[in-house]
């Protein structure tokens, strides 16, 4: 590209890539995202680096594992001094803005964004962290409200908290695209648009529910497993989610999936609004578009819901990239395993015009540019993911290399799967002597990245700090950190002292120069 591209970075929350039509799902309807995929590159095997909202986002924005930046669970803040992709892009002349959720905790609610267009849908305090001191080995402590209730209560609605929020996110993002197009200077922008849906509760707007025939909704490939068939972490999640206390019938599962599909179609319509604004302003072919999610959703597979595990349904995410000017050569699928950690170096490289990049701290991710340009023959990077939130008492650590996936937790039996022959992770090879060398190699790769014992100590110390602070704040002053966006009407509309005609003319896009008189004025 001859100049730095604008970047539109779109996130939906809790999207399992297996449910997108671009990944082969036969029922879900997302024509706008399908168009982006047909003109871009689809990464078939993309992973998040931590299967829960906040830590996943922080790792993605830094190109480093969450534990490396001191984030161990959903109640940890990221230090304000941690470099993010926004800082690197601003260094290269970009304007950075966020519309939507990002789960920033603590006093820094920007982390490199120059402006936020909305508040967050969730609080910014430390109250959602793990507490390994609570619960029992069989039934871990969990934040209040985690249960199959959202499955049993799934269905259509006229309005919901998430619809209210996502409408605001989309409206402000579209308005921002027009505002950016009106600027006289040609500064590139990085606009993040981060939606709350299709995160549970599974409640879809009536219009989107009605887009699907209920009988067409497919059911889980893998039925509920017995406790004996489950791995140790899945058993803990089963108890933590109180699954055995509720009767979840086939009709409930179908309702939840129906709502999830409707929510995906809603997100697709919002993607269509964003791309229409880019096209309307002439910015589409100057803008790199990235679509992804923070983590997956089990959606009833194996009898599990939500995320919080290192199973494929929880850690696999969509990743679709449309490069401006390359729509004619799009529609390509990349099979190699990649990570959301790879996004930071990819975006910074797009913004750098081949100038050397000096990262302040070592990053884990690798630029995806070779894969985007089809030069993928030498790609052989391992993918890493971690989990140390509720539902466990020691960090769960995952390595994906080639066709093998290895998961280690010091309290649990090891897991090793050949995902080429066993994509549903039903046959654990860790105790098979024929795979002893593979297991040893994967464990060595894991130890190259983590010290499990030190990780556990650090996570416990972090929990102790955050729960102490949270308890003090809860008893004294309310949380002062929740972000409140400020908008000035004088920057949008006519206010005193301004020339009405001039303000209206400047708001018109495309801009039309004022008509000048061509006749002499008569006295």
Q: What are residue 216's phi and psi, to 5 degrees?
A: -85, -10
Single out the catalytic residue among 32, 103, 199, 239: 103
SS3 state of residue 413: coil
DSSP states along 158-182: S--HHHHHHHHHHHHHHHHHHHHHH
d(CA 283, CA 181): 8
Give the list of residues 6+ apart from residue 447 with CB closer than 8 angstroms, or none. none
- On whether the CB atoms of residues 168 and 500 are closer than 8 A, the answer is no
**Beta-ladder partners of 98:** 116, 192
Note if 103 is an active site residue. yes
Query: Measured between alpha carbons, how far apart are the two ends of the chain, in Å?
Result: 57
DSSP states along 498-516: S-HHHHHHHHSSS--PPPP
**Angle of CA points 177, 179, 182, to nearest 5°:** 110
d(CA 205, CA 160): 8
Single out the catalytic residue among 32, 48, 53, 409: 53
The CA–CA distances, whole Å, from 86 to 91, 168, 383, 485 equal 8, 23, 23, 19
To which H or E segment does residue 237 belong?
Answer: helix 232-240
Residue with tokens 């604008």: 6
Measured from the Cβ of residue 34, the count of other Cβ atoms closer than 10 Å reads: 15
Give the list of residues 6+ apart from residue 76 with CB closer than 8 angstroms, or none. 54, 55, 66, 70, 105, 126, 129, 462, 466
Give the list of residues 6+ apart from residue 101 with CB closer than 8 angstroms, or none. 13, 53, 120, 121, 122, 165, 169, 194, 195, 196
Give the residue among 389, 437, 388 at the shortest CA–CA distance from 416: 437
- On whether the CB atoms of residues 492 and 159 are closer than 8 A, the answer is no
* Residues forming the active site: 53, 103
């Amino acid at each position: 590209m001859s100049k730095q591209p604008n970047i539109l970075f779109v996130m939906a929350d809790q999207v399992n890539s297996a449910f997108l039509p671009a990944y082969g799902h036969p029922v879900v309807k997302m024509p706008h995202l399908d168009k982006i995929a047909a003109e871009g590159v689809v990464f078939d095997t993309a992973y998040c680096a931590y299967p829960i909202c906040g830590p996943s986002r922080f790792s993605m924005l830094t190109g480093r594992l969450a534990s490396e930046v001191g984030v161990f669970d959903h109640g940890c803040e990221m230090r304000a001094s941690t470099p993010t992709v926004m800082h690197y892009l601003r260094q290269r002349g970009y304007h950075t803005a966020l519309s939507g959720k990002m789960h920033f905790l603590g006093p820094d609610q920007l982390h490199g964004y120059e402006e936020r267009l909305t508040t967050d849908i969730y609080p910014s305090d430390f109250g959602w962290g793990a507490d390994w001191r609570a619960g029992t080995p069989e039934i871990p402590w969990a934040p209040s409200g985690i249960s199959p209730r959202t499955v049993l209560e799934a269905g259509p609605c006229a309005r919901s908290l998430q619809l209210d929020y996502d409408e605001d996110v989309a409206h402000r993002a579209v308005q921002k695209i027009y505002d950016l197009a009106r600027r006289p200077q040609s500064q590139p922008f990085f606009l993040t648009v981060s939606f709350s849906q299709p995160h549970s509760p599974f409640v879809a707007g009536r219009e989107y529910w009605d887009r699907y025939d209920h009988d067409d909704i497919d059911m889980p490939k893998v039925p509920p497993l017995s406790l004996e068939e489950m791995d140790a972490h899945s058993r803990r999640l089963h108890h933590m989610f109180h699954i055995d206390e509720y009767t979840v019938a086939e009709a409930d599962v179908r309702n939840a999936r129906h709502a999830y599909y409707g929510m995906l179609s809603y997100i697709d319509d919002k993607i269509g609004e964003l791309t229409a604004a880019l096209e309307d302003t002439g910015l589409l072919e100057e803008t790199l578009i990235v679509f992804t999610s923070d983590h997956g959703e089990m959606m009833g597979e194996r009898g599990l819901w939500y995320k919080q595990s290192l199973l494929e349904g929880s850690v696999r995410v969509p990743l679709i990239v449309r490069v401006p000017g390359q729509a004619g050569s799009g529609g390509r699928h990349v099979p190699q395993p990649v990570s959301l950690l790879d996004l930071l170096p990819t975006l910074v490289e797009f913004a750098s015009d081949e100038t050397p990049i000096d990262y302040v701290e070592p990053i884990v991710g690798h630029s995806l540019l070779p894969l985007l340009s089809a030069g993928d023959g030498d790609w052989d990077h391992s993918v890493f993911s971690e989990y140390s939130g509720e539902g466990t008492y020691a960090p769960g650590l995952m390595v994906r290399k080639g066709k093998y996936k290895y998961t280690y937790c010091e309290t649990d039996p090891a897991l090793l799967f050949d995902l080429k022959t066993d994509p549903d992770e039903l046959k654990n090879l860790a105790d098979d002597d024929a795979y002893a060398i593979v297991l040893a190699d994967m464990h060595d790769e894991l130890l190259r990245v983590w010290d499990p014992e030190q990780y556990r100590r650090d996570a416990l110390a972090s929990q102790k700090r955050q729960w102490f602070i949270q308890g003090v704040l809860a008893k004294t002053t309310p949380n002062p950190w929740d972000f409140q966006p400020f908008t000035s009407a004088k920057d949008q509309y006519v206010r005193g002292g301004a020339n009405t005609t001039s303000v209206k003319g400047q708001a018109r896009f495309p801009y039309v120069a004022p008509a000048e008189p061509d006749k002499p004025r008569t006295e």
